[in-house]
Amino acid sequence: MRIHEWPSAERPREKLLAHGAGSLSDAELLALILGSGLRGFDAVGTARQLLTEHGPLRDLLEQPPAKLMRMRGIGSARACTLKSALELAARCLRADLERGAALTDPDSAGRYFAQHLRGRPQEVFAVLYLNSRHNVIGFEELFHGTINGAEVHPREVARRALQRNAAAVIVGHNHPSGNAEPSQDDRNVTIRLKQALALIDIRLLDHFVVGDGPPVSMAARGWV
């Protein structure tokens, strides 16, 4: 049965219009972008097959275009459409933060670091500078290292925060290995950063570690 033959309430487009995009499953959202399915499958069935073979969703979408276009059911045009949709979402999040939006949702900072740092071949340590209302006033990659680590200097973080007139900072770095579990060195750096910033009355709100999965918040672990 083709999608247009489904009951109206079960069709992805109708569901989105009636209840919003959040009501759709990963397969349904992907189906709307694909538009049509493989021979013998509707778009939702094709999307489910892609997710089964290449998912979950984030793993599928983060594949490079050359790999996406080789997947059965995607091809070059759909690969471009998928990558464009992902970039639009990333730019939307960046725009919110870069125009000074308040960080009322801690997870948004983690997503911001992930979009900037995930997939980098070397370790990068970056800082989000915030004012007293937790509005973003700047983002900066401060230290670049190797595949195994980056040397972090708390005094330089403090100096740059003072230059930006920041009242608080959120820091983050990536693990090129893909394993986002914080190391003991990561925890030690967090302690040193918190101490150095406290001396100049600047709060360290969180330290995110970015790997293949969701970013790990050290504040959520009680380590900040």
In a domain, 89, yes or no: yes
Which of 74, 94, 114 is the last residue in one of the domains? 94
The set of residues, in sequence order, having a beta carbon less than 8 Å from that of 124 and lying 6+ positions away, is 117, 141, 143, 144, 145, 150, 173, 174
- Residue 125 shares a structural domain with residue 51: no
Q: 111 and 61: one domain?
A: no
Domain boundary among 94, 115, 138: 94
Same domain, 129 and 30: no
Q: Is residue 63 part of a domain?
A: yes
Residue 224, domain member (yes or no): no
Shared-domain flag, residues 77 and 186: no
Q: Which position has the token pair 């997947």? A: 71
Whether 85 is in a domain gets the answer yes
Q: Exposed e or buried b for every residue in 80-99, given b needs 16+ CB within 10 A?
A: ebbbeeeeeeeeeeeeebee
**Quick count: other Cβ atoms within 10 Å of Cβ 110?**
21
- What contacts 56, CB < 8 A, 6 or more positions away? 26
The conformational region for residue 97 under phi > 0 = left, psi -120 to 50 = alpha, else beta, is alpha
Task: Please indicate, yes or no, whether residues 86 and 110 belong to a single structural domain of this protein.
Answer: no
| Statement to judge: residues 203 and 159 lie in one domain | yes
Q: Of 64, 94, 124, which residue constitutes the final position of a domain?
A: 94
Tell me the three state secondary structure of residue 192. Answer: helix
Q: What span, in angstroms and rounded, lies between the C-alpha atoms of 97 and 33?
A: 27
Task: Identify whether residues 87 and 105 lie together within a single domain.
Answer: no
Q: 3-state SS string over 61-76?
A: HCCCHHHHCCCCCCHH
Total count of domains within the chain: 2
Inside any domain, residue 188: yes
pTM: 0.67
Same-domain check for residues 133 and 70: no
State how far the Cα of 189 lies from the Cα of 44, in Å rounded to an integer. 47
176 and 117 belong to one structural domain: yes
* pLDDT 10s digits, 72-98: 889 899 899 988 888 887 777 666 666
Pairwise CA distance, residues 101 & 94, whole Å:
10
Amino acid, single-letter form, for residue 35 = G
Q: Does any domain span residue 223? A: no
pLDDT, residue 21, reads: 87
| Structural domain that includes position 192 | 100-217
Judge if 112 and 212 occupy the same domain: yes
Distance CA 34, CA 44 (A): 9
Walk along the chain (224 residues) and give the pLDDT tens digit of each residue: 577 778 877 888 898 898 888 898 999 999 898 888 888 788 898 999 999 999 888 788 878 889 999 998 898 998 999 888 888 877 776 666 666 566 767 788 898 899 889 878 899 999 999 999 888 888 999 999 886 777 899 999 999 999 999 999 999 999 999 999 999 999 999 999 999 999 999 999 999 999 988 899 999 999 99
Position 222 in a domain: no
For residues 209 and 106, state if they share a domain: yes
The CATH number given to whatever domain includes residue 130 is 3.40.140.10
Strand, helix or coil at 208? strand
Looking at the structure, do residues 122 and 88 belong to the same domain, yes or no? no
Angstrom distance (rounded) from CA 207 to CA 224: 7
